[in-house]
Structure 1
Amino acid sequence: MEPDSPSTPRRTLTELLFVIFLRMIAVTCFWFGMQYWAMLVGYSLEGRARFDLLNLPWRAAAPTLAVLFPVASLGLWLAVSWGAVLWAMAAIIQILMYVVWSDIFGENHLVPLLNVLVASLYVVFRLALWLEGRRKEEKVRIDLP
């Protein structure tokens, strides 16, 4: 008996690990986004960081990150390219906040360090997937008469 729908190719171990990695980052991004929203609406920090009480730089950065992180989370969960782009934008904003403009936003060495670590792992995964794809192409070329 023939199946009704065509079979999908099986994912390699590298592809599977990459999707798991993206979903772990997606959960983290969603958590970051909810933290920013909680801060902006006064739920966290005893209401001292509500939007109306923030200075101008925080009024620009916090809502931007509160929107970018959850949307990036969706894109990362679905493993689509725009999710990584939005995450990279949010990570760059955080790195600028805590490294370049630390006199305005305060010092936080952990967040930029973790963003650089995640970006490095992402590059390693993309490189591994690219090499895997090249090996598959070479194998197909060799197998063709």
Structure 2
Amino acid sequence: MENDSPTVPKRTLTEILYVVFLRLVAVTSLWFGLQYWGMLVGYSLDGQGRFDLLTVPWQVAAPTLAVVFPVAALGLWLAVSWGPVLWALAAIVQFLMYETWSEIFGTNTFVLLFHGLVAALYVLFRIAFWLDDRRRAGQVTTHLP
């Protein structure tokens, strides 16, 4: 049964793809968060990443990311404005860890490439929304004689 109610907004293809994109990033953010929790409680890395065995920089970074990534995942899944903000915060922290302070945290090229790809796709979606808004604004204008 088709719903033609005027109260239900029609979504554009861009909006639908954007929500799908956010949910895929949400799943990966949850995965990142679970990896950090697994490390901190000794489940992964043969117990070598337990919180009490980590160096101080890791004791600061790992619990922070273990909390921020799952919360960002929730915001991304719900497609609310704070989801991408928290994801960006976590991505910046990981960029600083693996690029700026690589002598402390090591390197992780995959994570950096992944975050770069997600950021680029996010910017492309924002540009697409801007272009859609401009197109709609152009259709609404009236021509006065």
* TM-score class, shorter: over 0.9
The structure 1 segments of at least 4 consecutive aligned residues displaced by more than 4 Å after TM superposition are: none
What letter corresponds to residue 110 of structure 2 in structure 1?
Answer: L
Q: Tell whether 2:64 aligns with 1:64.
A: yes
Per-residue CA deviation, residues 29-76 of structure 1 (Å, 9 max, x unaligned), is: 001000100100111111111001100000000000000100000000
Find the counterpart in structure 2 of residue 96 from structure 1: 96
Classify 1:143/1:56 alpha carbon distance in 2 versus 1 (closer, same or farther; 3 Å).
farther
Give the deviation of 1:109 after TM superposition. Answer: 1.3
Classify 1:108/1:142 alpha carbon distance in 2 versus 1 (closer, same or farther; 3 Å).
same
Find the counterpart in structure 2 of residue 25 from structure 1: 25
Aligned counterparts of 1:52 and 1:87: Cα–Cα separation in 2: 27
Aligned counterparts of 2:37 and 2:53: Cα–Cα separation in 1: 14
Aligned counterparts of 2:135 and 2:33: Cα–Cα separation in 1: 39
CA RMSD of aligned residues (A): 1.8
What letter corresponds to residue 77 of structure 1 in structure 2?
Answer: W
Matched positions, count: 142
Structure 1: which 5+ runs fail to align?
none
Structure 2: which 5+ runs fail to align?
none
Aligned counterparts of 1:71 and 1:12: Cα–Cα separation in 2: 27
Aligned counterparts of 1:144 and 1:45: Cα–Cα separation in 2: 70
- Tell me the percent identity: 65
Give the alignment's TM-score, normalised by structure 1: 0.92
Per-residue CA deviation, residues 87-145 of structure 1 (Å, 9 max, x unaligned), is: 00000000110001000001111111111111010000011011101211221223899
